[in-house]
Amino acid sequence: MTILIFAAHPDDIAIGLGGTVAKYARQGKHIVSVIFSYGEGADPIKDSTTLIKQHTAEAKKASKILGIKETIFLGLSDLAFERDSKEPSTEKKITDIFERYKPELTFIHKNDDMHSAHKVVAEKINIISSKINFKTTFYAYYIFPPIKPGRRNQPKLYIDISDTFQLKKSAMSLFKTQKLFFSFYQIPTTLLQNWLSGFKARCKYAEIFYKI
C-alpha cells in the first residue's frame, strides 16, 4: 500500500501527522512525502540559501525517524508560494507523482487552515485530483485550526498514536531552525491537540483527520 502526503513546508508532516506516519510505516506501508517549498521564508533575517539547506537536512532526518521512504521537494518559493503554485510545471509535477505512485491513501492540508500556503496546497491538490484517471482516498489534516471554526461535517478519522507519540516528538524536535517558535508554541500546542483528540478517541494520544 502506498500513502502519499502533501505538505507546504518541511516541518508540516511531523506536526500534522507525524504519529500516524510512524504508525503506518510500522505496518509496512510505503510512504512518500511531497513538500512544496523549503520554508525559506520562516526567518527573514537568515540567508535563504542557508535556510534551504538546513530545512532540507531537517526534513530528511525527520522522515527517517518517521519511516518515510521517499521525500520529494517541488521547489516552490516560500516567498512567492501562490504564484509558483499556478505554474503549469507545478501541476505537471504533481500529476506525474500521482500517476507514478497511484496512492491508495492521500493526506493533504485542510482547506480552511489558517496558513495561506496550506490553503493553496489543499486547493491545488483538489483541482488536480479531479483530473486524474484513478481514485484515491483523501484525508485532510490541520496545522493551524481556523480562527472561527465552521461546521465541519466531513467524516472524522481518529488515529491512535499512543505508541508512536514519542517518535512524533523526536521528529518535531529536529527542526532547530525554528527552535524558539517550536519550543514555546508549536510543540506544546500540537501535543495538547493530540492529547485532546486522544481523550475524544478514548486513548492517550491521537491525530484527527477529515475525509474529503
CA 185-189-28 angle, 5° bins: 115
d(CA 109, CA 80): 18
Residue in 167, 185, 205, 187 with CA at minimum distance from that of residue 21: 167
d(CA 61, CA 177): 14
Instruction: Please tell me whether residue 147 adopts helix, strand or coil conformation.
Output: coil
- Count CB atoms within 10 A of the CB of residue 183: 11
Q: Work out whether the CA dihedral 153, 154, 159, 165 comes out positive or negative.
A: negative
Scan for cell 505512485, then name that residue.
Answer: 101
- Count CB atoms within 10 A of the CB of residue 82: 14
Scan for cell 510512504, then name that residue.
Answer: 31
Residue in 196, 198, 190 with CA at minimum distance from that of residue 160: 198
From first to last of the 212 residues of the chain, give the pLDDT tens digit.
999 999 999 999 999 999 999 999 999 999 999 999 998 776 666 777 888 899 999 999 999 999 999 999 999 998 899 999 999 999 999 999 999 999 999 999 999 998 999 999 999 999 999 888 788 999 999 998 766 555 556 678 999 999 999 999 999 999 887 766 777 788 888 999 999 999 999 999 999 999 98
Give, in order, the Cα–Cα distances in Å from 85 to each of 74, 90, 94, 119, 161: 10, 6, 10, 11, 32
Give, in order, the Cα–Cα distances in Å from 211 to each of 22, 58, 70, 94, 112: 20, 29, 24, 20, 14
The three grid cell numbers given for residue 136, joined into one nine-digit string: 484515491
In 14-136, beta strands by DSSP E: 30-37, 70-76, 105-109
Contact 189, 176 (CB under 8 A): no
The three grid cell numbers given for residue 53, joined into one nine-digit string: 539547506
Supply the DSSP symbol for 107: E
CATH top-level class of 2-211: alpha beta
User: Which amino acid type is present at position 4?
Assistant: L
d(CA 60, CA 112): 28
